[in-house]
Amino acid sequence: MEYPANDFQNKEKLLNVLGTHWTNTYGGKDFVEEFVRSRGELEDQNHINLTEACDLLSRLDAPVYHKEKWLRVVLKESERKKRPIKYGDGTVYGEQPITGQMPLYGGSLTAVEYVFPLTQPLVFSQLAQNKISEPSLSWLHGIDFTLNSDSSAVIFKTDPFADSNLVPVEIFDGDVVIDREITLWFKNADLDKNYLYTHIGYAVNIYGKSSESYKNLLNAYIDSLVIGATKESLEKALAAMLGVRVVQNDEEIVELIDSSGDNLVIVTDKEAYLFNVNDTATVSVGDTVYKGQLLTTAASVHELNSGAVPPGVVALNIGPDMMAGYIDGVMFCDTTVSTVVEENVDGKTKVSFDLVGHPSDVEKFWDDVHAEGIRRGATLAELLDTRGYPPPYEPTAATLPTTINPLAFLIKNILRFNAFVVKIDLSMKLSGAFGINQVDLIRRMTPPWTALFLITTGTQIESPVNLTQPGDETEAGGSESLSTFIGAEPVEESVTGSDHVSERVRLAVVEGFCR
Amino acid sequence: MSDARLYVGRTVDLLAYQAENVAGEQLTVQSLHGDGVHSGRITTGIQKLAQRFTLELLTESGSIRYNPTRGCDFITTLRSGGIQSQIDLFVAFSSALVDIKRNLQAEELETDPDDEKYDSAEIINVTFSPGQAAVYVKINSVAGDSRTVIAPINTVI
Amino acid sequence: MAIEVSDLNTLSQTSVDDRRELLAQLLQEYESRVDLKRGVIHDLLLELSAVISAAHEENIERLRLSNSLQGIIESPELSDPTLVDKVLSNYRLTRKSGSAASGQITIVVNRLAPVTIETGAEFEANAQTFSVSSAVIARTSTASVQSDSDKVLTPLGDGNYAFTVSVVADQIGLAGRVKKDTLFVPSVAITNFVKAYASADFVGGAEDETNEELTSRLEAGLACKALSNRSSMTALLMDRFPYVVASSIIGYGDGEMLRDRHSIFPFSFGGRTDWYVRTSELPINLGISVTATLMSKDTTDGSGIWQFSLPRDVAPGFYDVKNIRLSASAETAGTFAITSQIRGFDVTPETSILRPDIETSDEAAFSRYQTSVVRFRDPLTITDALSVGATKDYAVTLRYMPGIKDIQLAMASRDTRYNAGDVLVKAAVPCFMSVSFTIEGKSGLVLPDATTLKSAIASLVNNSGFCGKIYASQILDVIHGYLGKGLAVANLDMFAQILKPNGSVTSLRSQTAISVPNTPADMVTPRTVCFVLDPEDIAISARTINVP
């Protein structure tokens, strides 16, 4: 941003409005100038506030956070907490490598961080200083301090009260000093005032923690309200759930794909897009990409109208919500199985093939298909007959396909009309992603006569055990040596008489509905 | 006359109570622009402390809307007719001193010069005459008796 | 206007402090020679600047909050209806004004002689005053009719005659919704007057829309009005039929959707939408006259089994037959016993209207395509001299949600639907509730007004949408709002009956919560069922007890 961005930041301009006496003639104009400049700072903050209020009129321009140019944070010594050591702090068993400290049983290790509560909803600030203009102390976020907005705390690597650049002010109760305070100034502080929820999310009854992803999700959802159900708004919502962005402009050309850093970066002629470093781009350098397009495999939408099995989809489950009277439904897998032909079942040839599911569900499924086929005058065997429909005589094994791909059969004959598949790889979520905890939003965004099969994948945590070799103290193996541990003598307590024994069973129903 | 060099290293405030001399008893002029001779003067040191004390003493507690703890109840008591005798006056003043001390010390820093730090105050004389009372107050800084009186200077800040 | 320039005495202390400290810090750093402790500069520059700047901040904050719906509604300073209305106009929403209930009164006279009812003539019922909306002259015969406003006296068969007049409640609000058969008292003398009663449930009658009710329609205001997704469909419905109370859309992948399973495979193919709609807080009691046919005779007592049909356009999507009486009966309570009710469906095509894919009567239940054949026993008409096949007129009261046919036709018309847009509109599956409780308290304490209390409880239940569960604690919460000190509630009991689309009834009872069972194969789930509580079905008793 250009400086000065407005007249409040321009002390000469502020002075000018006071007339030539104060700007040119008056000998002591230094103080006047500094007062005017300081006063301008106050009004500059109001200017920011006003700009935010105006931007909040638009869901597209709404700021995620409130910005304070200089946020005053007062730390009280009485509120200082030493954070206990946690996993990942670098503490080792025995003597500590840096401090040489040897923890004793019952004692505690020196805390590495100092935690102070915040009264303001401070989310981020790059810099904390002891003074505004010429600080003798500047602490950097991530290095000298961190902010925990969830617990409303600022965490320092060193004790601020031990720093000579910060002069504590003593708090008196009568003549007695009861506390000490230090003031720090956080530069360009982001404060979470729930702008997005109170101004936008409230209207559509979607709550979320303030973030760019939340804003993107709200905009995607409201797009689907205002325009109606579109592929673009759905894909924007999916992207927001993963914390990534879809293509922003009507047309962009991919110029760079790089995953050498902390993120996978896809740069186009107009924008740069960040993804999880393990994500896989679905575009190549030179490709033209279009507004709303997803650029990686982290989220993908597959329409089934061609009848083909989408890449990477290995099975689909048809659950009880799509088949009344079934326990879990049946699963159609992307594999080749043999057809089973039974002749003269209720006077008609019955055909079936392998499905995954509870045996009673699978059996019921094929019984229902056959019975309904008879009732409606066209059995599945007749429809599958290689001689065409209607077959000249009752089908036999010789006139029916010998193998079938259940998933391909399902998609080609049933799902291709009104269903589509969405795949989300949750392990590719970026920090700040909205997540899929409100995935029922998609239900509200899509036409009710269509169905969405949501396939989520995540990181598989592997803990392999090599069974070909024996285990040791740290690794499990094919055989383990056992040692015994002499436990305490159990306390015996006898209960006699059935009056003292009872059994209680409690049933709990856990369910929920998407509306 | 004061020497401007004595102001070096000290912070200054505008003088609200103008006086001809810094020593001796005299009536001050309550004016920022003074009497035309002593206009736009600044002050520091023990006189600045005296001014701070005076402002606290003469500000009614709660009357600064967003600094409600500043001031004391001395003037309030006086205006309400609660001071009928010398003893009343001593009682009201002693009570006010508690608030004044708390307020003045709360804003002082360790790095402030000792003669600008408040220590105590006491009434040294009270005279009553029809329609008015005169209270003579002695203000002690942390510096005790060893202080340099820096007179106001006509300057600009 | 609720946004006002801040009073300098009501600023936020924190805001002033922050501004003062920031200014002091800046001044101190820019000009270290200035003393910013208590003094002239502090008081006249710092303090004043901080206060003025904080005032600006406050005004800007109010401006911002005035554009935040949550801010407006939850901030006492801003919850001004005018301001709310202005902001909601951005969402294309207009507050619904309250309306007065209206309906028809049947006036019974004992002589065949002309009767004149002037415009503005007043009748009273349920402590409400109703005025005749246009003058009526009841004539003795069709031949004597002289204008469109004239009515003909209808003989009731018992020596009395009846005619109807239209009335409107003098006050807006729900209190004017009197039920069918409620007796009215005229405030002026009517020639040969016997009695006056409500011909059918009165309709309309609503309070001014509250901020909460208005904001519940926010999403519908934003959304395009089209058969697109659930949100935009709801917006379309609310836009075209603003009286709709709640709706729930069932589609592909929902267990309750049976109409997309019309193939040899037992699972859904999609492409169908069932739209459960609640168009009124309470079902309307509609009185109709039917001609029944004698189907069989009981020689033991001379009674007969009679049958009449209800085609699809008579009370479309009706729930049940509430009572059957002789046409000439003066009774306003009781009914002949229904011996059977067979529901069917009629999908006779209509011009430009997509005929929905319906294969069973269960699928058509509570939709405008539902039909029914009702049989009942009439013990009062001796059939000895009648032959099977004889006919007789009866007065029948049906319970139904109004507007189901209108909504169906609107959603299936070519200017609304998409191609192959198979949308079937159904009245919400009803769960008829009754509630009883006891108010206990010391002797001499004033009990709350029962009518008001019942109305508040019913309003809670009838506006709960498709919630799936009504808790006793919700009802208790309402009751407690009406109880004075020293009064308490005991023995709250809830009873409910779900009338399933297949015609069967499931009964539920609880002292803690009534939960809708999840039986999608029956189309009975929290997404299809609405709770219905008539204030008349709330029983309140009082007991004197020494409440601690």
First-to-last CA distance in chain A? 45
User: Is residue C397 within 8 Å of C333, Cβ to Cβ?
Assistant: no
φ and ψ at A33, to 5 degrees?
-60, -45
Q: Name the residue among A514, A326, A313, A454 with its Cα closest to residue C267.
A: A326
Amino acid at C184: F
Q: Give the span between the Cα atoms of A44 and C14, in whole angstroms.
A: 18
Question: With 50 as the cut, is the pLDDT of residue C533 above it?
Answer: yes
CA atoms within 13 A on the CB side of C415: 3
Residue range C52-80: mean pLDDT, rounded: 80
The tokens for B112 are 């402030």
* HSE-up (13 A, CA, CB side) for residue C344: 14
List CB contacts (< 8 A) between B156 and chain A.
Answer: 26-28, 31
> What percentage of residues in chain A have a pLDDT greater than 70?
88
User: By the 8 A CB rule, do C494 and C529 touch?
Assistant: no
Partner residue facing C40 (CB), from B13, B64, B66: B13
> Is the confidence at residue C546, as pLDDT, over 90?
no
pLDDT at C10 over 50: yes
B67 reaches C (C-beta below 8 A): yes
B38: pLDDT strictly greater than 60: no
Per-residue pLDDT of A150-173, as tens digits, reads 889 999 989 999 999 998 988 888
All residues of chain A having their beta carbon less than 8 Å from the beta carbon of residue C58 are none
- pLDDT for residue B36: 53
Residue C49 with chain A: CB contacts under 8 Å: 39, 42
* Token pair of C207 as six digits: 């309070």
**B14 contacts chain C (CB < 8 A):** yes
pLDDT of residue A39: 86
Q: Quick check: helix, strand or coil at residue C469?
A: strand
* pLDDT score of A489: 72
In the predicted model, what is the mean pLDDT of chain A? 87
Global pTM? 0.77
Closest CB to B157 among C34, C43, C54: C34
* Interface check B32 vs C, CB under 8 A: yes
A167 shares contact with chain B (CB less than 8 Å): yes
Q: Is C310 exposed, middle or buried (0-12, 13-18, 19+ CB in 10 A)?
A: buried
Between chains, do C270 and A198 touch, taking CB under 8 Å as contact?
Answer: no
**Which pLDDT value is given to residue B152?**
61
Out of A34, A198, A226, the one facing C27 most closely (by C-beta) is: A34
Is any Cβ of chain B less than 8 angstroms from the Cβ of A142?
no
Across the interface, which of A49, A56, A320 has its CB nearest the CB of C57?
A49
* pLDDT tens profile A109-163: 555 689 999 999 999 999 999 999 889 999 999 899 999 988 899 999 899 999 9
- State how far the alpha carbon of A366 is from the alpha carbons of A380, A415, C234, C254, in Å: 10, 18, 38, 22
Band of the pLDDT at C400, cuts 50, 70, 90? very high
pLDDT (tens digit per residue) in C161-217: 999 999 999 999 888 888 888 999 999 899 899 999 998 888 888 888 887 777 778
Share of chain C above pLDDT 90, in %: 61
* Nearest residue, CB atoms, A35 vs list C27, C57, C91: C27
Chain C positions touching B7 (Cβ under 8 A) are 33
Q: Do B111 and A167 touch (CB under 8 A)?
A: yes
Most A CBs within 10 A among C229, C261, C275, hence the mutation to make, goes to C229
| Residue A242 or C34, more confident | A242
- Collect all residues of chain A within an 8 Å Cβ-Cβ radius of residue C223: 225-226
* Mean pLDDT calculated for residue range B126-152: 76
C218-262 pLDDT, tens digit per residue, is 888 889 999 999 999 999 999 999 889 999 999 999 999 999 999
Which residue carries 């269903």 as its tokens? A419
pLDDT digits (tens, 9 = 90+) for B54-80: 889 988 998 888 888 889 999 888 888
**Distance between CA atoms of C47 and C499, rounded to whole angstroms?**
71
Tens-place pLDDT, residues C506-519: 999 999 999 999 99
pLDDT at A415: 94
A463: Cβ contacts below 8 Å, ≥ 6 apart = none
The answer to whether the CB atoms of A418 and C270 lie below 8 A apart is yes
SS3 B57: helix
CA–CA separation, C240 vs C411, rounded Å?
10
The answer to whether the beta carbons of residues A155 and A115 sit under 8 Å apart is yes
CB atoms within 10 A of CB C541: 11
- Whether B69 has its CB under 8 Å from any CB of chain A: the answer is no
Contact A113, A155 (CB under 8 A): yes
Q: Where on the phi/psi map is residue C468: left (φ > 0), alpha (ψ -120 to 50), or beta?
A: left
CB A153 within 8 A of CB A118: yes
Please tell me which chains touch B, using 3 or more CB pairs under 8 Å as the contact test. Answer: A, C
- What does the DSSP assignment read for A167-204? -PEEEEETTEEEEEEEEEEEEEEEE---HHIIIIIHHH
- Cβ of B157 within 8 Å of Cβ of A28? The answer is yes
Q: For residue A458, name the pLDDT band (cuts at 50, 70, 90).
A: confident
Tell me whether B6 touches chain C (CB under 8 Å): no
Give the pair of three-digit tokens for residue A433: 């992603």
Which tens digits make up the pLDDT trace of A287-332? 999 988 999 999 999 999 999 999 889 999 999 888 888 888 999 9
Residue B1 has pLDDT above 50, yes or no: no
Most B CBs within 10 A among A130, A164, A172, hence the mutation to make, goes to A172
Yes or no: say if B26 and B19 are a contact pair by the CB < 8 Å rule.
yes
Burial class (CB in 10 A: 0-12, 13-18, 19+), A506: exposed
A198, A229, A324 member nearest C229 (Cβ) = A229
**Contact (Cβ atoms closer than 8 angstroms) between residue C393 and residue C244:** no
Average pLDDT over residues A332-351: 95
Contact C31 A199 (CB under 8 A): no
* pLDDT greater than 60 at residue A511: no
**Chain C nearest CA to B37, separation (Å):** 19
Query: Collapsing DSSP states into helix, strand and coil, what is residue C510?
Result: strand
pLDDT (average), residues A408-425? 93
B58 part of contact set with chain C, CB < 8 Å: no
Is C34 in Cβ contact with B11 (below 8 Å)? yes
Chain B CB within 8 Å of residue A176 CB: no
B154 has a pLDDT exceeding 70: no
CB neighbours of C404 closer than 8 A, spacing ≥ 6? C277, C279, C316, C317, C366, C367, C368, C425, C426, C427
- Is the pLDDT at C362 greater than 60? The verdict is yes
**Burial class, A178, CB count within 10 angstroms (exposed 0-12 / middle 13-18 / buried 19+):** exposed
For residues A380-385, average pLDDT: 94
* C→B interface, C-beta within 8 Å: 8-9, 11, 13, 16-17, 20, 32-43, 47, 50-51, 54
Degrees, nearest 5: CA angle A116-A120-A122: 80
- Disruptive mutation site among C20, C36, C37, C51 for chain B (greatest number of B CBs within 10 Å): C37
Residue C1 has pLDDT above 60, yes or no: no
Residue with tokens 């159900």: A229
Token pair 């002292």 is at which residue?
Answer: C511
The pLDDT assigned to A111 comes to: 56
Quick check: A298 and A275 in contact, CB under 8 A?
yes
Q: Of A84-88, C67-71, C291-295, which gets the smallest average pLDDT?
A: A84-88
A172 and B CB contact within 8 Å: yes
Between CA C397 and CA C404, with CA C403 as vertex, the angle to 5 degrees is 90
Q: How would residue A400 be classed by pLDDT, with cut points 50, 70 and 90?
A: very high
Q: Does B66 touch chain C (CB under 8 A)?
A: yes
Query: Nearest-CA residue of chain B relative to A180?
Result: B106
Averaged over A349-363, what is the pLDDT?
A: 94
How far away is chain A from the Cα of C26, in angstroms, using its nearest Cα?
Answer: 6
Q: Which residues contact B145 (CB under 8 A, 6 or more apart)?
A: none
Question: Would the CB atoms of B11 and C13 count as touching at under 8 Å?
Answer: no
Residue-wise pLDDT for C257-285, tens only, equals 999 999 999 889 999 999 999 999 999 99
Across the range B98-111, mean pLDDT stands at: 89
CB-based contact A31 B110, cutoff 8 Å = no
> Across the interface, do A229 and C232 touch by the CB < 8 Å criterion?
yes
3-class state of residue A300 by DSSP: strand
Angle at A343 between CA A342 and CA A349, to 5 degrees: 90
Strands A288-290 and A356-357: unpaired
Name the more confident of C31 and A212. A212
Say which of A42, A228, A383 has its CB closest to residue C53.
Answer: A42
Task: Report d(CA C82, CA C88) in Å as an integer.
Answer: 10
- Average pLDDT (B14-20) is 77
Beta-carbon contacts below 8 Å between A and B: 17
**Do the beta carbons of residue C256 and residue C364 sit within 8 Å?**
no
Side-chain-side CA neighbours of A73 within 13 Å: the count stands at 34
- Nearest chain B Cα to C7, which residue? B65
Give the chain B residue whose CA is nearest to the CA of A34: B157
Q: Is the pLDDT of residue B35 over 70?
A: no
Separation of alpha carbons A286 and A314, rounded Å: 31
Mean pLDDT of C352-373: 94
Mean pLDDT of chain B: 79
With CA atoms as reference, report the closest residue to B99 among B68, B70, B141, B130: B70
Nearest chain C residue (CA) to A206: C219
Does B156 score more than 50 pLDDT? no
Q: What is the ipTM of this complex?
A: 0.77
